[in-house]
């Protein structure tokens, strides 16, 4: 697994998501950008899906065994704000039922620079749970 290529693919996907979110539904480019995003997601899952799903299964097993593992692209944030040390909002990523934080809203999010999984709990807790 080439970590740099994985990271670049992740950044490209998030940038395309950002581009789409800036458009309104009535924008003439919306359908084309949405199709480009879906193609990037498909390519990403084809190339890195098996590797990342194994990682996600291990993380879920440790942190949130009662929550189903989704496709890696479900864990992406909508924006990284171009920041290499960016920590996502507590509203980004996939909701999980964390054993460590019972009864609290917890989310797993896959972020680049470097590629890693962050567990967010509420507004104050950000915990790196895996790094490529």
Question: How do residues 3-32 score in pLDDT, each as one tens digit?
Answer: 999 999 999 999 999 999 999 999 999 999
pTM of the model: 0.88
Structural domains counted in the chain? 1
Element (H, E) at 118: strand 116-121
Instruction: Please give the residue range of the domain that contains residue 116.
Output: 3-131
The 3-state DSSP composition of the chain as helix, strand, coil percent (nearest 5) reads 45, 15, 40
CA 70 to CA 72: how far, in whole Å?
Answer: 6
The tens digit of pLDDT for each residue in 33-65 reads 999 999 999 999 999 999 999 999 999 999 999
């Amino acid at each position: 697994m080439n970590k740099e290529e994985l990271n670049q693919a992740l950044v490209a996907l998030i940038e395309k998501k950002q581009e789409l979110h800036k458009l309104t539904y009535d924008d003439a480019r919306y359908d084309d950008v949405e199709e480009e995003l879906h193609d990037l997601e498909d390519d990403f899952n084809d190339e890195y899906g098996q590797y990342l799903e194994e990682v996600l299964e291990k993380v879920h097993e440790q942190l949130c065994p009662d929550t189903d593992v989704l496709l890696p692209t479900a864990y992406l944030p909508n924006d990284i704000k171009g920041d290499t040390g960016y920590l996502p909002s507590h509203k980004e990523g996939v909701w999980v039922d964390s054993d460590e934080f019972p009864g609290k809203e917890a989310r797993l999010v896959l972020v680049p620079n470097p590629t890693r999984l962050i567990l967010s709990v509420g507004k104050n807790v950000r915990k790196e749970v895996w790094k490529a």
